[in-house]
Chains A and B, each alone.
Chain A
Amino acid sequence: MNRQVKISIAAVIVYSLALALIPVFAGNYETRIAISVAMFSALALSWNFIGGFTGYPSFSTAAFFGLGCYIGALSQRAGMPAELAWIIATVGVAGFAAALGAIILRLKGHYFAIGSIAIVEVTRLIISSWGSVTGGGDGLNVPLMTGTPDVVAARILYIMLAVMGMAFVATVIVDRSRLGFGLRCIHQNEDAADMVGVDTTRFKIAAFVLSALFCGLVGAVYASWVGYIDPTDSFSILLTVKVPVMALLGGAGTLAGPIVGAGVFVLLEEFFWANFLQWNRAILGIIIVFLIFFLPGGLLKIRYKDLLKKLSANRSNTVSEGEAKG
């Protein structure tokens, strides 16, 4: 394990512990933000398998998340304990992704992007028109967790952090395994990878399933947390683009990038919601445009040392110029 990987792992552990301490020292509002941070970190880490390592522009996150919500909610309504419902949702969504991946991973580039967005639309439409099971557009109530709001929020935070931890561990393992190596090969040149013996179909499906299963789990936990789900909220096109943006913001294909990106994005979003309610969407749009032009590699790929050197060099230049004039 090289130094950089060790630093990433240590940083993520410290960061998770800090998030875990929030319910002890701060109120319900801060805990809610911490839950969002952990939740989006897990989603962004998931996306990173297919979008970051493999380089496939997948926009199916909301489909997996939404299906997780619904499978979890329906299982809980059928009388199962929450924990079992979450496991069923995870397995169900993973199975869905494996079957779907075998079909749509044959597509590449633009066609894959369009196909993956269409999956979100199709799942949303089916869920909302299948009213007898899913409640249609009226949505579903999910049995609430017992306990005071503080206790419930703290418990959800720990679960979300655990999911984030699992997704991160999976990332580290994949990164160091044959699978991760193969996925990077596919990213660089799929035909060449195929030629030298990477089983591209199997590898891509594995990445797609990895990108789905944590989303399913997060969705099911989310449903238990909020207590009410509906199709437009669960399968939102905004979510499906927001998650890749978070991963890109931190640095796609890196270990800790998605976590950094999700944290920064959620905090920015929270700040703009609170202060510029009417312009919230436009400001997020501006962030995206800014990201594409000025941070194409993400926050983790900026070379901060060079940046500092440049800044100090500039300053000394201006100082010496000022002296020369004086």
Chain B
Amino acid sequence: MDVFQILLNGIVLGALYACIAIGFSLVWGVLNVINMLHGSFIILGGYLTYFAWHYTGIYPIILLPFVAMVLFALGYVLQHLFINKVVTAPVLTTLTLTFGLDMILYNLMTVFFTATPRRVTLDLGTLSFGDVYLPVDRLLGMALALVLTALLYLVMRGSRIGRAIVAVRMDRQAAALMGIRVNQVYSITFGIGALMAGAAGAIFAMVFPVTTNLTGVFLGKAFVVCVIGGLGSVPGALVGGLALGLIESVAGYTIGPQNAITVGFLLMLFLLVVRPTGLIGVKGYE
């Protein structure tokens, strides 16, 4: 296979991975919570997009903001009612709690949506440059993922709530003394995490089939991207996502797709031990 084709596949995949991981990274960085619900949020976004598209025929890109808002509301409510109550507890407690919530959400999804793989078919054709091919729906997915990432970056830097989130991330006590309602910020942050997951799911449903069996896979990707890129920055998640996409693409071609996933995890373990701040980890969440 052509080198350019492998690189192109890697970049497309990487942009999607970045979009998957960014909400997870935000929640981990600001709330100090490992959100085991993240994979299910992504799949829920994908399913909602699919069914809304299937029954109304509305173009999925128009549906995406609505799906994202639904997920934001879900995330906000879950944080407000449950996770905020134990947010300062040790990781064992918060991780177990989000895992329990994930089991409930997962079960609801399998009952209401069944585990059948669903995909929004857009039939946009394929671009070709010489012998390098790129399906247009993937290109669209990549573009959307990058736009969302850029939007989040701008919100974090420029908006009032974005600055409040960064302030809480830097110093919870000081932020509280400055008059920031920390629990409110936590709920909104978790909501934004779910929103990004839902949007990523909507994009995924346009590119690959989604099914509840994939929740664990997406969660695993979020772990790896977060550790490679480093917690606490939008650029970090982007770099981590692109790095993982390229590594998987190259490894998939050279040593087989099954082993490519293992390579990602091994790299993550290695980085955890030698450089737990990731490639470009920073303290605040700019």
Q: Does B121 contact A (CB under 8 A)?
A: no
Nearest residue (CB) in B for A136 is B258
Q: Which residues of A contact B102 (CB under 8 A)?
A: 285
**Among A103, A111, A284, A296, contact of B93 (Cβ-Cβ < 8 Å):** A296
Please name the 6 residue pairs, one residue from A and one from B, whose CB atoms are nearest each other, closest first. Answer: A288-B100, A285-B103, A282-B107, A285-B104, A57-B92, A281-B107
Q: 26 A-B contacts, Cβ less than 8 Å apart?
A: A57-B92, A57-B95, A104-B269, A110-B28, A111-B276, A113-B34, A118-B223, A119-B269, A125-B262, A129-B262, A241-B96, A244-B92, A244-B96, A279-B107, A279-B111, A281-B104, A281-B110, A282-B103, A282-B104, A285-B101, A285-B103, A287-B100, A288-B96, A288-B97, A288-B100, A289-B97
Q: Which residues of A contact B5 (CB under 8 A)?
A: none
Residues 60-114 (chain B) with a chain A CB within 8 angstroms? 82, 85-86, 90-93, 95-97, 99-104, 106-108, 110-111
Q: Which of A103, A106, A111, A244 has the most C-beta atoms of chain B within 10 angstroms of its own C-beta?
A: A111
Q: Which residues of B contact A55 (CB under 8 A)?
A: 90
Tell me, in angstroms, the Cα distance from A113 to B227 when the chains sit together: 12
Give the size range of B's interface with the partner.
Answer: 35 or more
A288-B99, A288-B100 given; A281·B106 CB < 8 A: yes
Q: Does A292 contact B (CB under 8 A)?
A: yes
Taken residue by residue from 210 to 238, chain B's Cβ proximity to chain A (1 for < 8 Å, 0 otherwise) reads as 00000010001001100100000000000
Tell me, in angstroms, the Cα distance from A118 to B90 when the chains sit together: 19
Q: Which of A237, A280, A281 has the most C-beta atoms of chain B within 10 angstroms of its own C-beta?
A: A281
Are A113 and B103 touching (Cβ within 8 A)? no
Are B259 and A129 touching (Cβ within 8 A)? yes
Are A282 and B265 touching (Cβ within 8 A)? no
A residues in contact (CB < 8 Å) with B = 51, 55, 57, 59, 103-104, 106-107, 109-111, 113-115, 117-119, 121-122, 125-126, 128-129, 237, 241, 244-245, 248, 278-282, 284-289, 291-293, 296
Q: Does B42 contact A (CB under 8 A)?
A: no
DSSP majority for the A interface?
helix
A122-B265, A285-B104 given; A104·B96 CB < 8 A: no
Closest Cβ of chain B: how far from A114's Cβ, in Å?
5
Are B95 and A122 touching (Cβ within 8 A)? no
Q: Which residues of B contact A121 (CB under 8 A)?
A: 220, 265
Tell me, in angstroms, the Cα distance from A77 to B256 when the chains sit together: 28
Q: Which residues of B contact A241 (CB under 8 A)?
A: 96, 99
